[in-house]
Amino acid sequence: MANEVCFRTLDLPNPASLETYRSIGGYETLKRIVTEKVPATEIINQVKISGLRGRGGAGFPTGLKWSFMPRYYDGEKYLVCNSDEGEPGTFKDRDIIRYNPHQVIEGMAIAAYTMGVRTGYNYIHGEIWAEYQIFERALEEARAAGFLGENLFGTNFSFNLFAHHGYGAYICGEETALIESIEGKKGQPRFKPPFPASYGVFGKPTNVNNTESYASIPYIMQHGGQAFQDLGVPNSGGTKIFSVSGHVEKPGNFEIGMGTPFPDLLALAGGVWKGRKLKAVIPGGSSTAVVPADMMMQCTMDYDSISKVGKSSLGAGSVIVMDESTDMVKALSRLSYFYYEESCGQCTPCREGTGWLWRVVRRIAEGKGRPEDLELLTDVSNNISGRTICALGDAAATPVISFIKHFRPEFEYYIEHGRSMLAA
């Protein structure tokens, strides 16, 4: 029971080609919807039934989001696919584009039809050039085959989709920074409200979804929302791609049903490497709280369990596995450096705070920690959290808070002895 939705073409020869995609019924759903003029309300309803939640990390119900788009707005509207995954631990959208770009295109076309949009962009992460080229090729194929462009299937529905290659800034994965970037401006998040649904690309109503979310749509519309929901568990419908990295034997992407127990996922990835013991897991990408091994082994891979049992969040399903040899102080130092480098610098707490956090953690890792540092780190993290324009502030604060919360003795040992507990 794997690779049923976004990775449907994975085991077929030449999986990214239009031919392969059509061989599994690709674009038939779009054609049916467009030619039979399936009402938008019906589509949104199916997406709601499917239980699909935003796969980019926030987990906002996709059907609900679509219903926010002003349907009778007189003017241009935009559809945006967020393929700008840049957080440590994330690498699923890249594989979707690499192996099944047409499903993203079909999903976006269905979304465009539903929301009455004529123009779409897929914003692809700056560091993945080969995938960008694959997607451009897929667009060419789809245009030539009449699945993109003007008056599709002889109806008055038109949809033009363009790929937009980013420049490698993590912050451009934040949807409003991404919108600014599409507009040709510096990628900096906008203050919300207004949300993109009323003020998005070029100030027009815009719907932004993650690559995996769009890629799930053809399946939902082909098999019905309930079928998708049934692949997962209540409140976490469907399958999810989990990107397992770190100290495992077989790192990679695994598309499995929501609600799969974590030990099963770990087994799929070949278990902890070198026969070592599991120490901790970051379940949803580096911005989610770290979960100690014993708690993590109790979790199932769905929104509710990770949140209630793991006190963390599912995020984008980017599972970073850490074995017993991991130096948590150094790990945090590296994560903090990432946020320090990737803060956009627009608003004060994040611009000033991320550098402060990193410098203090680094100092501890260099053996120059001071007893008051842990309180300071927690305090500074709390002062960033919830006081910034976008969620990057919280993303930078969460690792610090959770690492200190769960592995405090390791930090205290560093401060007291000037070296790692593990080396002792």
Partner 1 sequence: MLQIEIDGKAVEVEHGSTIIEAADKLGIPIPRFCYHKKLSVAANCRMCLVQVEKFAKPLPACATPVSDGMKIFTRSEAAVDAQKSVMEFLLINHPLDCPICDQGGECELQDIAVGYGASKTRYTEEKRVVLNKNIGPLVATDMTRCIQCTRCVRFLKEVGGMMELGLINRGEHAEITAYVDKSVDSELSGNIIDLCPVGALTSKPFRYTARPWELARRPTISAHDALGSQLEMHVKNNRVLRTIPREKESINECWISDRDRFAYEGLNSDERLTVPMIRRGDQWVETDWQSALEFASSRIKDAVAREGGNALGVLVSPNSTMEEGFLAKKIARELGCGNVDHRLRRSDFRLDGHFQGTPWMGCNIPDVQDMDRVLIIGSNLRNEHPLLTHRLRQAVRLNAAEISVVNALEDDPLMRVAFKNTCSPDDTINFLLQLLKAMSGLQRLSLCLPPTLNGLLEDVVVSNNAQAMAESLAGHGKDYDLVNPRSAVFLGNMAQQHPRYSEMYSLAEAISALCGATFGVLSEAANRVGLDLARVLPSSGALNARTMLEQPRSAYLLVNVEPEVDCHNAQLVNQALAAAGCVVAMTAYKSSALREADVLLPVTPYTESSGTFMSMEGRVQSFTAVAKPLGEARPGWKVLRVLGNLLGLSGFEYDSSEQVKNEIFGGEKPSRVVWNRLNNNLRELTEVNAKVRTESLQRVGEVPLYESDAIVRRAPSLQKMAAKKPVVAAMNAKLLAQLGLQDGELVKVSQGNGSVRLAAKCDDRVADYCVRVPICAQTAALGDLYGEIQVERAA
Task: Report, in angstroms and rounded to the nearest whole number, the Rg of the chain calculated over CA atoms.
Answer: 22
Contact 355, 139 (CB under 8 A): no
Q: Kindly write down the DSSP assignment for every residue of 296-338, as one continuous string.
A: HHT-EESHHHHHHTSSS--TT-EEEEEETT--HHHHHHHHHHH
Which amino acid type is present at position 189?
Answer: P
Structure tokens at 252: 């990679």
Task: Supply the minimum distance, in Å, between the C-beta of residue 272 and partner 1.
Answer: 34
Task: Supply the minimum distance, in Å, between the C-beta of residue 369 and partner 1.
Answer: 12
Contact 268, 299 (CB under 8 A): no
Contact 109, 150 (CB under 8 A): no
Q: Of 310 and 349, which has the nearer Cβ to partner 1?
A: 349
Task: Supply the minimum distance, in Å, between the C-beta of residue 351 and partner 1.
Answer: 6
Contacts of residue 89, defined as CB under 8 A and 6 or more positions apart, other chains included, come to 243, 245, 246, 282, 285, 286, 318, 319, 320
Contact 262, 252 (CB under 8 A): no
Task: Supply the minimum distance, in Å, between the C-beta of residue 39 and partner 1.
Answer: 32
Q: Of 266 and 390, which has the nearer Cβ to partner 1?
A: 390
Judged by the rule CB under 8 A, the positions of this chain that interact with partner 1 are 169, 171, 186, 191, 340-356, 359-360, 363, 376, 383, 386-389
Task: Supply the minimum distance, in Å, between the C-beta of residue 305 and partner 1.
Answer: 24
Task: Supply the minimum distance, in Å, between the C-beta of residue 353 and partner 1.
Answer: 6
Q: Of 328 and 384, which has the nearer Cβ to partner 1?
A: 384
Q: CA dihedral defined by 38, 40, 42, 48, rounded to 10 degrees?
A: 140
Task: Supply the minimum distance, in Å, between the C-beta of residue 284 and partner 1.
Answer: 21
Task: Supply the minimum distance, in Å, between the C-beta of residue 185 and partner 1.
Answer: 10
Contact 357, 382 (CB under 8 A): no
Rounded-to-integer distance, Cα 194 and Cα 353, Å: 26
Q: Taking the CB of residue 367, how many other CB atoms lie within 10 A of it?
A: 12
Rounded-to-integer distance, Cα 128 and Cα 116, Å: 30
Q: Of 168 and 263, which has the nearer Cβ to partner 1?
A: 168
Give the residue ranges of DSSP H helices in 315-418.
Answer: 328-342, 348-365, 373-384, 392-417
What is the SS3 string spanning 85-146? CCCCCCCHHHHHHHHCHHHHHHHHHHHHHHHCCCEEEEEECCCCHHHHHHHHHHHHHHHHCC
Task: Supply the minimum distance, in Å, between the C-beta of residue 211 and partner 1.
Answer: 24
Which H or E element spans position 219? helix 211-223
Q: Name the 3-class secondary structure at 358.
A: helix
- Provide the CB-side half-sphere exposure for 182 (13 A, CA): 30
Q: Of 345 and 409, which has the nearer Cβ to partner 1?
A: 345
Q: Of 98 and 363, which has the nearer Cβ to partner 1?
A: 363
Q: Of 317 and 353, which has the nearer Cβ to partner 1?
A: 353
Task: Supply the minimum distance, in Å, between the C-beta of residue 370 and partner 1.
Answer: 8
Q: Of 166 and 237, which has the nearer Cβ to partner 1?
A: 166
Q: Of 223 and 363, which has the nearer Cβ to partner 1?
A: 363
Q: Of 219 and 338, which has the nearer Cβ to partner 1?
A: 338
Task: Supply the minimum distance, in Å, between the C-beta of residue 173 and partner 1.
Answer: 14
Which H or E element spans position 267? helix 262-268
- Which CA distances in Å does 265 have to 213, 251, 260, 311, 389? 21, 11, 7, 19, 35
Q: Of 301 and 377, which has the nearer Cβ to partner 1?
A: 377
